Chain A
Amino acid sequence: MTDDPLIDIRGVRHTFRTASGPLKVLDGLDLSVPEGGFVAVVGPSGCGKSTLTRLVAGLMIPDEGTVRVHGAPVTGPRSNVGMAFQNPVLLEWRSILDNVLLPLEIVPTKLSKPEREARARRLLALVGLEGFENKRPSELSGGMKQRASLCRALIHQPEVLILDEPFGALDAFTREDLWQTMHRVKEEEPFTGVLITHDLRESIFLADRVVVLSGRPARTQFTLEVPDTGRRTLDHLYTPEAAEMLNTLRHQIEIAQGRAPAAQAAE
């Protein structure tokens, strides 16, 4: 990890023109992610978190402010991004293996066909889906679909991995399983990550920095550095340090939701 930010968002403002008039979603958003870093973004529902991911992916350009990746302004989609959403959006008419291979049909690659397949199989094995390569998505459980979706997001070795509430629809046990899978994946397939989540425990378990956004229009309200404790296990979530971080974050969310006066934030 170096200190040069790979993703650098400065003073971003954006207003949507909707049928019921302009809707200001982002107002003074700053966020930077160092290379190899993993930043979690939390904030009230509808504050503009998904909009933020679309900016990083180049799917939209902000009205004001800059979004840079590797120092170059993002002007449109670039193939060095991998995305996974709460909805795994696998293609039902393809096998799991062919679903994972999809990005390589778009992004130029030097890999030969057997090499591509071998890579897809390796990724699937890494997330625990060995033996499911030829199954259809409908034959998989929600958690397994999410694992396959993760493989698809990583197959083309993207520099930036964008995860928009990928585990939001899963039950608590499956979710914790997937958190551990994420750590394993990050060791084997290093990436720079942005994770949108509603789960504070998830944010401090996975990320090394947690950013709290204010209510709409979103700005960066608070940043928490998660100390590097080496390899994390679920036990870390039950330490006094974790409890304190969770408390701080919960309090910040209350402020963002307008349920606690901002003055207390200084405490």
Chain B
Amino acid sequence: MSARKILVPLAAMVVFLALWELLVWVMGWPNYKMASPSDLIPAFQRYWGLFLEMGWQTLWRTVVGLLLAVVFGVALGMIMGFSRTMRDALYPLLVGFNAVPKATVVPIVALMFVGWHDFNTVLIAFMISFFPIAVSVSIGLSTLEPEYRDILRSLGASQATIFWKIALPKTLPEFFGALKVSVTLAFIGTNLMEIVSPHGRGLGALFDSGKTNSDYPLMFAVLIALAFLGIVLYYIVVALERIFAGWADRTV
């Protein structure tokens, strides 16, 4: 990676923070309306340990929820991709499930598993993020041109061989496209639950405590921390995509 690739986005970020600071200063907004970047530094300094701890909570719950979503989504996608009947049966159900706004599910799950912070947070992260994965895998598999199968099948290859040698790798670009959407969704799911769940942990709970204590710079600092974590997670997926499905990139 060239220095340019790091410097350009970094410069953009500095410009963004400067504009933010300027805006708050020009408008003369008090802290409770809009904190400025310079107010955030003391907040980070004061709660440094908390940020690390809560950030870690949010991170691992998101990742575990996402991993579950990958396993379940790929399995479901395979079932729907290989069997027309299953696709016809499950698709409307899935769409309906996905259409329910997760903000309404969060309080229900929070009540159902009250006290099980880790479990209900991971559950929401999982529920909100498996849909794109299942759909992309099923579409990837069901749109595989029959000639791809025939080439191997005419040589006596088993269905499993066809899956490993052709169907799976061919679906990887779609899978990673969906994973980029899912990682952000899982992150949103984790935070929704952390904010709603009483005595919860994670960055969402830190945000909530900032709200209760009217500590506005803390709330904004949490937002920045969330943005940072979100970026890290997203680019991890991008890196994995480069490694496993880099061949699909025609621009290089």
Contact = CB atoms under 8 A, between A and B. Distances in A.
A93 B247 contact: yes
Grouping DSSP codes into helix (H, G, I), strand (E, B) and loop, the A interface class, with mixed when no group exceeds half, is: loop
B214 interface: no
Interface in A67-110: 76-79, 81, 83, 85, 87, 89, 91-93, 102-103, 105-107
Contacts of B172: 93
Contacts of B170: 91-92
Contact of B156 (A79, A102, A136): A79
Interface in A153-186: 156, 162
Given A59-B150, A85-B147, A87-B145, A92 B247 contact: yes
B168 to A, nearest CB: 10
Chain A interface size range: 20 to 34
A57 B156 CA distance: 10
A81 B155 contact: yes
B154 A57 contact: yes
B67 interface: no
Contacts of B169: 91, 93
A105 B158 CA distance: 12
Interface string B210-252: 0000000000000000000000000000000000010110100
Chain B interface size range: 20 to 34
B165 interface: yes
A78 B250 CA distance: 36
A89 B156 contact: no
Contacts of A247: none
Nearest to B250: A138
Nearest to B245: A93
Interface centre among B145, B154, B165 (most CB of A within 10 A): B154
A79 B154 CA distance: 7
Interface of A: 54, 57-59, 76-79, 81, 83, 85, 87, 89, 91-93, 102-103, 105-107, 136, 138, 152, 156, 162
Interface of B: 145, 147-148, 150-157, 161, 165-166, 169-170, 172, 245, 247-248, 250
10 contacts: A77-B156, A78-B156, A83-B150, A83-B151, A89-B145, A91-B170, A93-B169, A102-B165, A106-B155, A107-B156
